[in-house]
């Protein structure tokens, strides 16, 4: 069996390299990448990060194509959590708390997991703060007594009001109107309570992929049929030249 493929970038930044052993780790996915992996004969595919802004995103249709072809597809943390919540009824497997929140309707905005990040040469290091990570960090800060409930609410509201391309802790603190001393104390203590739901869910998915020895759905789904639209045929032609 070929190595499981996993598309990842900023969500795995900072994780141990040992977690990536035995996996074919590729850059964040864009349109056609899942289809291409399925066409290579890959039977286990993990989707963590994906492009969405200036680069066309992974299509639901290509995920369905791969599922019907017998691939096991797992999603978590970022684009993977979004697509898994949307495609779980067709057999895509969602992993982690972020996926569960989207599937349950507790979280609705795609932007909650969005970040800007550095290029591949810098390991896709996140340059801005995902809303899901801001929330988990602020919750931990309250629980550990580093900030009060009122400060928590001010910081959370400020983070919510920022576009993902501008959401950083210094900007959140500024928009929340914290005093210079309050802001300095928060940043000083941040390493003690900072949390990343995205990284945690990504790690869970990686560990799951490393434990898979054989795909579980070799015969593909039987309760639905893929409609091969003109758009999907066009994508197949672009990817496979046919």
Which residues, 6+ apart, have CB-to-CB distance to 75 below 8 Å? 46, 47, 48, 81, 82, 83, 84, 87, 92, 93, 94, 95, 99, 205
* Domain encompassing residue 37: 5-109+198-227
Count the domains in the chain: 2
Judgement on whether residues 207 and 96 belong to the same structural domain of the protein: yes
Give the model's pLDDT for residue 165.
96
Q: How many CA atoms lie within 13 A of 184 on its CB side?
A: 3
Cα 26 from Cα 49, distance rounded (Å): 10
Note the pTM of the prediction, 2 decimals.
0.91
Judgement on whether residues 63 and 145 belong to the same structural domain of the protein: no
Judgement on whether residues 95 and 205 belong to the same structural domain of the protein: yes
Judgement on whether residues 129 and 163 belong to the same structural domain of the protein: yes
Q: What are phi and psi of 73, to 5 degrees?
A: -120, 130
User: Is residue 9 in a domain?
Assistant: yes
Give the model's pLDDT for residue 218.
47
Judgement on whether residues 128 and 184 belong to the same structural domain of the protein: yes
pLDDT at 216 over 60: no
Judgement on whether residues 128 and 163 belong to the same structural domain of the protein: yes
Judgement on whether residues 165 and 126 belong to the same structural domain of the protein: yes
pLDDT at 219 over 50: no
Average pLDDT rounded to a whole number, residues 20-48: 95
pLDDT at 220 over 50: no
Average pLDDT rounded to a whole number, residues 74-81: 98
Give the model's pLDDT for residue 241.
75
Judgement on whether residues 29 and 88 belong to the same structural domain of the protein: yes
Confidence grade of residue 105 (pLDDT, cut at 50, 70, 90): very high
Q: Is the dihedral of CA 59, 64, 70, 72 positive or negative?
A: positive
Kindly tell me the burial class for residue 155, based on how many C-beta atoms sit within 10 Å of its own C-beta (0-12, 13-18, 19 or more): buried
């Amino acid at each position: 069996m070929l190595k499981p493929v996993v598309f990842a970038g900023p969500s795995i930044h900072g994780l141990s390299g040992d977690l990536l052993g035995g996996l074919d780790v590729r850059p964040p996915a864009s349109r056609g990448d899942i289809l291409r992996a399925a066409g290579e004969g890959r039977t286990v595919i993990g989707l963590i990060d994906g492009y969405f802004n200036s680069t066309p995103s992974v299509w639901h249709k290509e995920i369905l194509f791969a599922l019907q072809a017998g691939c096991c597809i797992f999603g978590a943390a970022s684009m993977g959590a979004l697509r898994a919540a949307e495609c779980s009824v067709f057999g895509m497997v969602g992993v982690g708390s972020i996926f569960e929140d989207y599937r349950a309707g507790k979280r609705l905005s795609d932007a909650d997991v969005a970040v800007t990040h550095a290029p591949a040469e810098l390991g896709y290091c996140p340059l801005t703060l995902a809303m899901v990570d801001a929330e988990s960090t602020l919750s931990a800060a309250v629980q550990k007594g580093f900030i009060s409930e009122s400060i928590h609410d001010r910081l959370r509201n400020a983070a919510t009001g920022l576009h993902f391309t501008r959401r950083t802790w210094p900007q959140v603190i500024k928009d929340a109107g914290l005093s210079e001393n309050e802001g300095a104390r928060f940043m000083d203590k941040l390493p003690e309570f900072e949390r990343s739901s995205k990284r945690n869910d990504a790690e869970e998915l990686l560990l799951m992929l490393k434990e898979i020895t054989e795909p579980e759905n070799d015969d593909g789904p039987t309760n639905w049929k893929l409609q091969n639209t003109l758009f999907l045929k066009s994508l197949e032609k672009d990817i496979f030249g046919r």
